[in-house]
Amino acid sequence: PITPGELLCLGSSLAFSGLFYYLYRRKSRVVARIQEAPKLQVDDNLPALVSAAEGRCLPYVALEGIVVPAQAALTSHYHEGLQGVIQKLLLKEHRLIWNSLARSW
């Protein structure tokens, strides 16, 4: 005979397994789309290509080209000869909605 506690454990285990499998499948589709992204060169044709795209946006692309730092390139303390730059990111929030449950915007 199976006890109610065992049924509860089995049900919760199946629910969590289903949830994690769903999340795994969703993320694997995103990874596949990123891997299939077209590779574009950074050149004079890129602005015309972006403006011709739907919504003036290219969803997943890989840009290849030379990056020029705005001030000075960052050098790695751990690997000799490795340099990098920081991308400036601008986040624009269009509107704020009051969440009465969390009491925050």
| Distance between CA atoms of residues 6 and 66, nearest Å | 60
Residue type, 104: S
Q: Which two tokens stand for residue 35?
A: 């891997």
Give me the domain span that covers residue 10.
1-35
Given a contact cutoff of 8 angstroms between Cβ atoms, the answer to whether 105 and 98 are in contact is yes
Q: Is residue 68 part of a domain?
A: no
Q: Is residue 19 part of a domain?
A: yes
Phi, then psi, of 47 in degrees rounded to 5? -60, -40
For each of the chain's 105 residues, which pLDDT tens digit applies? 889 999 999 999 999 999 999 999 999 998 998 888 889 888 888 889 888 988 888 877 888 888 788 888 889 899 888 888 877 766 676 667 777 887 777
Tell me whether residue 14 is in a domain.
yes
The verdict on residue 8 lying in a domain is: yes
- Does residue 7 belong to any structural domain of this protein? yes
How many domains would you assign to the chain? 1
Residue 82 lies in a domain: no
In a domain, 103, yes or no: no
Give the model's pLDDT for residue 89.
Answer: 64
At 14 the three-state DSSP class reads helix
* Residues facing 74 on adjacent strands: 84
